[in-house]
Amino acid sequence: MRIFGIDPGSERTGYGCVETDGRVTRLVTCGAISASAADPFPQRLARIHRELLKVITDCHPDCVAVESLFYSVNVRSALKLGHARGVAVLAAVEAGCQVVEYTPAEIKRAVVGYGRAEKHQVQQMIKLLLGLAQPPSPHDAADALAVAICHLHSMAPAGLKAVSVPSPSGRKARSWREYRPPTAG
């Protein structure tokens, strides 16, 4: 299965594609689409759309995962980010892909285990999860890979249902932190 992740931005949009066989996840490609701040905003959006469509089409992913908008104090920045996100979603749909969305906190929780992780922590975890020699750079590419990995982690294996594992006390464990293996004897 191939998942393509997108970290939208109006000046730099990160992308990353991972592939898994259910046991091992490996990097297919990653990078960032940069647009000059000197270019008119509509031309920046057109470049993001055009280049994302080409990369998505070349990767042939099963699904595209996109980081969703989050609350922003600066309304102008939020609107620009919304436009960039819109052209990214449009590129995915034009490539014939299903699109799913995750919040920044969901992505960080899935990859790092903490919803307020910092960018360098995300980069280091992506390096470890994908067995890379160096963390992906720029951080936008690492963030896009994190979006893709978040989607992989959120999917249940085909045909399997979530199982609640009882703890030794007889109470069902609600998370892996509460699980304690049964003691011998």
97-149 per-position pLDDT tens digit: 999 999 999 999 999 999 989 999 999 999 999 999 999 999 999 999 999 99
Question: How far is 104 from 106, CA to CA, in rounded Å?
Answer: 6
Q: pTM of the full predicted structure? A: 0.83
Q: What pLDDT sits at residue 162?
A: 40
pLDDT in tens, 42-62: 999 999 999 999 999 999 999
Q: What is the chain's mean pLDDT, rounded?
A: 87
Residue-range domain boundaries for the chain: 2-154
CATH of domain 2-154: 3.30.420.10
Q: What positions carry a catalytic annotation?
A: 7, 67, 140
